[in-house]
Amino acid sequence: MSQEQDFSEGDLRNTGMSLKHDREWDYELDRIVEAVEERDATKVGLQFPEGLKRRGPKVADDIRELVPDDVTVMLSGQPCYGACDLDTFLMKRTDVFVHFGHSPMKNTDKVIYVPLFSNVDVFPIMEESLEELPNPEDAATGDADETDERPSVGLVTTAQHMNRFEEMKAWLDERGFDVKTRKGDDRLTHEGQVLGCNYASADIDADHVLYVGGGKFHPLGLAMEHPDKKVVIADPVNNVVTVADTEKFLKQRYASVHKAMDAEKWGVIFCTKIGQGRWEQAQEILDDNDDAYLITMDEVTPDRLRNFDMDAFVNTGCPRITTDDGPQFHKPMLTPGEYEIAVGNKPLDELSFDTFHGTW
Ligand code: SF4
């Protein structure tokens, strides 16, 4: 099954129906109110990711009802796409700062992280995904209880479904799989968790990896990072099982690299968001290239770069901006690894996904 095939029955992609899943979030108001009381707080900052911003005013109302009248509740209006993206301006100016929707990239007393787990049932779509995984009955040659006779499968998911991770593992185990999981590196909070920029939790000894979660960009990055593995996507939000197919994505990246090969003037973007800064990487490029100019910015958008007279850009910030939004920029936008290829420091076949490690 590839992402390019016609949609199958029950597939909710492009129908709008996927948005109708009933989502009830636990905003953990008790924990927030407790922190307000403990710190005798007068200013509370709330930061929501883009998809949940519309819930902000209602949550602010609920908090205002529970705290003393002199407490001011502020909503961050800054864009937010990940745990790397804390509103540090608001954080410094509030006694209690709450970041909703992501798990901590780095634990700190300054931030209350409220993860907001999805309540979508993942098991019906996992059942369907079994068709794309090795059949444990075929693999069993002796005693089925012997772990080494079970087909190995890696299991990963996003922070949104992390609350069901142990159940998912047990579910696969009961069906005869040797389930391989690991925590990854410092940038990841949980065992089995992946980010759009980090797939270290899939560095496991298994030819198949089951990704349970919505969207195709995480598993695409995963498949790019682990080209030797079959990445099966069980998407409970759109009710569809697919296999990550990197071909189209690779073509897009090769095209950008080719376009940038004649570039003379380079804009090197250093992102000032707290968890997206890769100063050394940006500095290395500058040290090596007299025609490279360092551009610092928080939000990296086509509009903000349009007035820079560059032939190409290299983005040391969030890799997803480069790969997902790349075609929208007026000049080629490359990852640091792609830049090395475009300027001839590395061969084209070394093109790989840009992953991000460490925190801040
Ligand atoms: S750098 Fe990008 S992909 Fe990584 S956590 Fe931040 S927003 Fe997500």
Beta bridge partners of 98: 46, 112
The predicted model gives 153-176 an average pLDDT of 96
pLDDT higher than threshold 70 for residue 1: no
Closest-CA residue to 294 (of 274, 326, 318, 270): 270
Both structure tokens of 26: 């636990």
Protein residue closest via CA to atom 8 of ligand 1: 82
Pocket probe for ligand 1: among 50, 81, 360, the residue whose CB has the most ligand atoms within 8 Å is 81
Q: What is the pLDDT of residue 190?
A: 94
Beta bridge partners of 296: 270
Q: Is the CB of 196 under 6 A from ligand 1?
A: yes
Beta bridge partners of 44: 73, 96
Both structure tokens of 326: 């790349």
Q: How is domain 247-350 classified at the architecture level of CATH?
A: 3-Layer(aba) Sandwich (3.40)
Q: Is the CB of 356 under 6 A from ligand 1?
A: yes
Pocket probe for ligand 1: among 102, 189, 356, the residue whose CB has the most ligand atoms within 8 Å is 356
Tens of pLDDT, residues 230-253: 999 999 988 999 999 999 889 999
Per-residue pLDDT band for 214 (boundaries 50, 70, 90) equals: confident
Both structure tokens of 58: 């209602």
The predicted model gives 315-344 an average pLDDT of 95
Q: What is the pLDDT of residue 348?
A: 94
Measured in angstroms, how far is the CA atom of residue 318 from the centroid of ligand 1? 5
Q: Is the CB of 112 under 6 A from ligand 1?
A: no
Q: Which residue has the higher pLDDT, 58 or 146?
A: 58
Q: Is the CB of 84 under 6 A from ligand 1?
A: yes
Measured in angstroms, how far is the CA atom of residue 57 from the centroid of ligand 1? 25
CATH superfamily of 29-114: Diphthamide synthesis DPH1/DPH2 domain 1 (3.40.50.11840)
Q: What is the pLDDT of residue 19?
A: 47
Q: Is the CB of 195 under 6 A from ligand 1?
A: yes
Q: What is the pLDDT of residue 2?
A: 42
Q: Is the CB of 184 under 6 A from ligand 1?
A: no
Both structure tokens of 87: 């509103």
Q: What is the pLDDT of residue 110?
A: 86
CATH class as words, domain 120-243: alpha beta
Measured in angstroms, how far is the CA atom of residue 197 from the centroid of ligand 1? 6
Q: Is the CB of 276 under 6 A from ligand 1?
A: yes
pLDDT higher than threshold 90 for residue 274: yes
The predicted model gives 181-189 an average pLDDT of 93
What is the atom index within ligand 1 of the atom nearest the CA of 82?
Answer: 7
Protein residue closest via CA to atom 5 of ligand 1: 82
Q: Give the span between the Cα atoms of 80 and 304, in whole angstroms.
A: 17
Dihedral (C-alpha) 207, 212, 215, 221: value to the nearest 10 degrees?
A: -30
Q: Is the CB of 318 under 6 A from ligand 1?
A: yes
Is 249 within 8 Å of 196 (Cβ atoms)? no
10 Å CB burial of residue 131 (0-12, 13-18, 19+) is exposed
Measured in angstroms, how far is the CA atom of residue 195 from the centroid of ligand 1? 7
Domain ranges of the chain: 29-114, 120-243, 247-350
Measured in angstroms, how far is the CA atom of residue 160 from the centroid of ligand 1? 14
The predicted model gives 186-212 an average pLDDT of 95
What is the atom index within ligand 1 of the atom nearest the CA of 198?
Answer: 4
Q: Is the CB of 336 under 6 A from ligand 1?
A: no
What is the atom index within ligand 1 of the atom nearest the CA of 319?
Answer: 2
